[in-house]
Amino acid sequence: MDLSQCFNNYFAMHFKYEIQGGDFTNAGQASSQVKQVLKQLNVDPKLIKRVVVCLYEAEVNVVAHAWSGVIDVEVNTERIQIVLADKGPGIPDISLAMQKGFSTASPQVREMGFGAGMGLPNIESNADEFRINSKVNEGTTVEIMVYLSQA
């Protein structure tokens, strides 16, 4: 089934994933599962790549920096919307966090090959719409939108 030709009525699929901070063993599972669904729906591979980059980067950020989080993904005939909401230390300076190479990752996270400071910039460059809100000592919410009409 090709989403661009799917039903005349509104069509939507919804996925929800819970993330545990520090659980690098399972980091990337949500992005892998969403990738498989998008392939089954015959979504353009270029769009799949963009969605997976956004979701994986955001998912790893939650694992690396927060205590826990939830990912909500909605796929419909027009767009893929991803919302990640975490409970964690928050981001005190979002503009600084958006700079390529800036990272607050711990030495342990860096030793595992994460924390290069490219996560948020990669999300921003692959998303059609990207918003981030954060409250220190509460958590961060990231909203990502990728439109199906754009490859």
pLDDT for res 29: 95
pLDDT given at position 4? 47
Stretch 112-131: mean pLDDT: 86
Per-residue confidence at 25, pLDDT binned at 50, 70, 90?
A: very high
pLDDT tens for each residue of 28-86: 999 999 999 999 999 999 999 999 999 999 999 999 999 999 999 999 999 999 999 99
Using the structure block, give the residue that is written with the tokens 């690098």: 24
Q: Is 132 helix (H, G, I), strand (E, B) or coil?
A: strand
- Return the pLDDT at 24: 92
Sheet holding 79-87, edge to edge: 12-20, 68-76, 79-87, 139-147, 129-135
Whole-structure pTM value? 0.86
Beta bridge partners of 12: 76
Which residues are CB-neighbours of 125 under 8 A, at least 6 positions away?
Answer: none
102 phi and psi angles, rounded to 5 deg: -80, 135
Domain 18-147: assigned CATH number = 3.30.565.10
Secondary structure (3-state) at 56? helix
Domain boundaries, the chain: 18-147
pLDDT tens digits along 70-121: 999 999 999 999 999 999 999 999 998 888 887 777 778 777 777 766 789 9
The token duo for 102 is 């800036």
